[in-house]
Amino acid sequence: MAAETQLKVSDEVAVEITKMNKWFGAFHVLRDIDLTVYQGERIVIAGPSGSGKSTLIRCINALEEHQKGSISVDGTVLSSDVKNIDKVRSEVGMVFQHFNLFPHLTILENCTLAPIWVRKTPKREAEEIAMHFLEKVKIPEQADKYPGMLSGGQQQRVAIARSLCMKPRIMLFDEPTSALDPEMISEVLDTMIELAEEGMTMLCVTHEMGFARKVANRVIFMDQGQIVEQNEPEEFFNNPQSERTKLFLSQILGH
Amino acid sequence: MAQEHFAFVRSHMLPEAPPPAAERGAIKWLRENLFSSAANSLLTVVSLYVVIQIVISAAPWFLNGVWDSPSLTACRDILDGNMGGCFAVLTERWNQLLFGFKYPSELYWRPGLAFILLFVAGAPLLFYKLFPSKMLIFTGLYPFIAYWLIWGGSILVPVFALLGVLLGVYVYKRTVAASAGMAVIAGFVAALIFWILSGFITAPMENVLAIEAVPSRDMGGFMINLMLGVVCVSLSVPFGIVLALGRQSSMPIIKWICVVFIEFIRGVPLITLLFVANVVLAYFLPPGTSFDLILRVIIMITMFASAYIAEVIRGGLAALPRGQYEAADSLGLDYAQAMQLIILPQALKISIPGIVNVAVGLFKDTTLVSVISMFDIVGMIRGPILASAEWNGVYWELFGFAALLFFVTCYGISQYSQWLERQLQTDHR
């Protein structure tokens, strides 16, 4: 366990969030978030629903706009400049709760679309890359099918492959297993663990505490739009400091 | 005791047998669909009786029909009091019904050829899986070829029109990365300026490489309906897409222009717009400029149809889950790419039935131009043909023929759209 958590974390900053605030209308969703993510870190964000954890990672690739403070991704400061945002998005992969594959395109086309149009990769090369990552998530034989013909777990693995095809430096996971049947959760988690072992920088919103213990080198607990506690997984689970964290953990691990 | 007797070995195999007659083919179908109960059997018999009565009374009208006669009186003489249709009016005046009464008859081959080429141009677009995509080049050139064939005149006019379009597309491509909305406007303005300027070049050279010109006022018949229908439908789909996207734009000026345009056009009857095209527009143009009537009508019908299509497409856009937009964004696709590759293909697929509905309605509405004294097929029937001494009083045959032409076209469109929907079915729900 200890050996795994020490994996290749460098001093290089991947994401730097300072004093970031966000409102939905009058509702203060995120309050004074400060977070520095180093290259190669694997961070699990936990917390009750409505605590702002999804919104936080959606701010990192500007799917949500923040109103105060700053976010810089790989040295690029997020502003309202469209060029800037598109650049950050092409460096940051995202996996959604509901997969969001493109239903009118085949699995292969789902994977080659962004490399061809955003990276201007030649079609054949993009297909080779796509097949490489589809093999990695263990579904190369589905390449010519449409998303609607695949199971939920398979679709989520395709979604991961689709993001990887852009060769992202950071991966964001927004509750990737929450919409899956229980027997499909492990195939997606296995893929994510493999990815983590290769040193991918990951921010993952999830309720899979087993995954957090095994893979994360930092667990962040959020409540009411604030970071309440963060620590190494071992400490976080065995020796939580704040009352709120203790309550949350007793509820989620209680049975 | 019984235990000893169930041992069995088959000595010969049974041959395949047909199902009993009552469970087979036509008889099964009849039983299930027409005679499934006493009430249904009664209904079937009554309906059959009504259908037979209609056929019996209508058949002589078709069978005794006179196909060769110079006038209605001559036709009635031939019929000699018997029941029968005077289809001779169709054989006698087919050219007027199709081309109008002033289009030079020795040039009928030109619109005819344009009509045939329409299928060549449309095929790769409508059946994109069956034809090589290189044929789309011809599709792109077709509007200019068809214009030249139908109107004639110098080839410079369509060539410069084509160059204007190419310039507009070029300007769009160069500016689209900055802002898709602005790029559409910039491309449109560039093309417009080019066309206005090229007018100074083509006007004095109207005899360069010219074929005999036919002015718009000499055109008529079903040709006009087809022209208006094809041109306005194919223009109003792209305009409708732009309006629908504009209505969702985050730029308030673009958004409000689109909203005002759509709401205004939808709130005004088409016939009013056509009167505007016919009469009122002339007041706003500088004196002496002749702005072709067909062009004015095309602009008005296109505006009308694109407002409706925009709303249909907006429905399609609204039906897409937000996740599709987010997935496209998260991959780093810019706005134009996300729309072109992800959003529109799905939204348009959802919108097909609605778009076809508008297209069919629009095609039939082209007959409204007869009200502003254009001689389309209805205008020809009500005007020159029924007013002529020879054929005054022939209604059923003429309007039946017009109805048949429209029905064949609209039914074809409808069947095609259903086929297309099946083709695009990729989600196996």
Q: Is the pLDDT of residue A13 over 50?
A: yes
Percentage of residues in chain A having pLDDT higher than 90? 51
Residues B324-363 pLDDT 10s: 999 999 999 988 899 999 999 999 999 999 999 999 999 9
Binary contact (B427, A90; C-beta < 8 A): no
Gap between the Cα atoms of B105 and B123, Å rounded? 29
Q: Is the pLDDT of residue B226 over 60?
A: yes
Neighbours of A247 (CB within 10 A): 13
Closest CB from B327, B333, B335 relative to A96 = B327
Name chain A contacts of B349, Cβ cutoff 8 Å. 104
Q: What's the complex ipTM?
A: 0.90
Rounded to the nearest angstrom, the minimum Cα separation between A94 and chain B is 6
Q: Is the pLDDT of residue A2 over 50?
A: no
In order of A119, A124, B40, B328, the CA distances from A113 in angstroms are 10, 12, 57, 10
Minimum mean pLDDT among A2-11, B162-171, B187-196: which range? A2-11
Q: Is the pLDDT of residue A5 over 60?
A: no
pLDDT score for A221? 92
- Least Cα distance to A71 among A14, A10, A25, A24 occurs for A14
Q: Is the CB of residue B424 less than 8 Å away from at least one CB of chain A?
A: yes
pLDDT score for B19? 77
Asked if residue B150 lies in contact with residue B230, where contact means CB atoms within 8 angstroms, the answer is no
pLDDT score for A4? 44
Kindly indicate the confidence band of residue A255, based on its pLDDT and cuts at 50, 70 and 90.
low
Binary contact (B428, A148; C-beta < 8 A): yes
pLDDT score for A115? 93
Binary contact (B429, A118; C-beta < 8 A): no
Stated as kind and residue range, the H or E segment containing A1 is: none
The string of DSSP codes covering A146-161 is -GGGS-HHHHHHHHHH
Binary contact (A82, B334; C-beta < 8 A): yes
Name chain B contacts of A120, Cβ cutoff 8 Å. none
Q: Is the pLDDT of residue A3 over 80?
A: no
Closest CB from B323, B334, B341 relative to A113 = B341
Percentage of residues in chain B having pLDDT higher than 70? 95
Kindly indicate the confidence band of residue B315, based on its pLDDT and cuts at 50, 70 and 90.
very high
- Which candidate in B331, B340, B344 is best for mutational testing of the A interface (most A CBs within 10 A)? B331
Binary contact (A103, B321; C-beta < 8 A): no
Q: Which two tokens stand for residue B334?
A: 């810019």
Binary contact (A103, B326; C-beta < 8 A): no
Name chain B contacts of A100, Cβ cutoff 8 Å. 321, 323-324, 326-327
Closest CB from B324, B332, B428 relative to A86 = B332
Closest CB from B324, B332, B427 relative to A100 = B324
Binary contact (A104, B424; C-beta < 8 A): yes
B208 CB contacts (<8 Å, ≥6 apart)? Answer: B154, B155, B156
Q: Is the pLDDT of residue B117 over 60?
A: yes
pTM value? 0.83
pLDDT score for A17? 92
Residue A46: CA count within 13 A, CB half-sphere: 28
Asked if residue A91 lies in contact with residue A170, where contact means CB atoms within 8 angstroms, the answer is yes
In chain B, the domains with their CATH numbers are 93-103+218-429 (1.10.3720.10)
Helix residue spans in chain A (DSSP H): 2-5, 53-60, 82-91, 107-117, 123-136, 152-164, 182-197, 209-215, 233-238, 243-253
Asked if residue A196 lies in contact with residue A211, where contact means CB atoms within 8 angstroms, the answer is no
Binary contact (A117, B321; C-beta < 8 A): no
pLDDT score for B290? 65
Rounded to the nearest angstrom, the minimum Cα separation between B325 and chain A is 9
Average pLDDT over residues A29-37: 91
Q: Is the pLDDT of residue A157 over 60?
A: yes
Residues A96-151 pLDDT 10s: 999 999 999 999 999 999 999 999 999 999 999 999 999 999 889 999 999 989 99
Name chain A contacts of B342, Cβ cutoff 8 Å. 102, 113
Kindly indicate the confidence band of residue A222, based on its pLDDT and cuts at 50, 70 and 90.
very high
Q: Is the pLDDT of residue B237 over 90?
A: yes
Query: In B42-105, which ranges are E strands?
Result: none
Number of H helices, E strands in chain A: 10, 10
Q: What is the mean pLDDT of chain A?
A: 89
Average pLDDT over residues A238-250: 89
Residues B30-79 pLDDT 10s: 888 888 888 989 999 999 999 999 999 888 888 888 888 888 888 888 88
Closest CB from A87, A89, A98 relative to B331 = A89
Stated as kind and residue range, the H or E segment containing A33 is: strand A27-38
Binary contact (A104, B334; C-beta < 8 A): no
Q: What is the mean pLDDT of chain B?
A: 86
Region of residue A87 (left: phi > 0; alpha: psi -120 to 50; beta: else): alpha
Name chain B contacts of A65, Cβ cutoff 8 Å. none
Q: Is the CB of residue B160 less than 8 Å away from at least one CB of chain A?
A: no
Gap between the Cα atoms of B93 and B401, Å rounded? 12
Minimum mean pLDDT among A181-195, A238-252, B200-214: which range? B200-214
Gap between the Cα atoms of B410 and B356, Å rounded? 9
Binary contact (A89, B330; C-beta < 8 A): yes
Percentage of residues in chain A having pLDDT higher than 70? 96
Q: Is the pLDDT of residue B9 over 50?
A: yes
pLDDT score for B79? 82
Name chain A contacts of B334, Cβ cutoff 8 Å. 82, 86
Asked if residue B220 lies in contact with residue B379, where contact means CB atoms within 8 angstroms, the answer is yes
Q: Is the CB of residue A167 less than 8 Å away from at least one CB of chain B?
A: no
Gap between the Cα atoms of B369 and B346, Å rounded? 35
Binary contact (A92, B330; C-beta < 8 A): yes
Closest CB from B326, B332, B426 relative to A103 = B426
B24 CB contacts (<8 Å, ≥6 apart)? Answer: B18
Binary contact (A113, B330; C-beta < 8 A): no
Residues A47-97 pLDDT 10s: 988 899 999 999 998 999 889 899 999 888 888 887 888 888 988 999 999
The string of DSSP codes covering B198-237 is HHHHHGGGTTTTEE----GGG--BHHHHHHHHHHHHHHHH
pLDDT score for B428? 53
Gap between the Cα atoms of B146 and B109, Å rounded? 12
Residues B239-252 pLDDT 10s: 999 999 999 888 88
Average pLDDT over residues B103-121: 89
Q: Is the CB of residue B329 less than 8 Å away from at least one CB of chain A?
A: yes
Q: Is the pLDDT of residue A195 over 60?
A: yes
pLDDT score for A1? 39
Rounded to the nearest angstrom, the minimum Cα separation between A112 and chain B is 11
Q: Is the CB of residue B346 less than 8 Å away from at least one CB of chain A?
A: yes
Binary contact (B331, A102; C-beta < 8 A): no
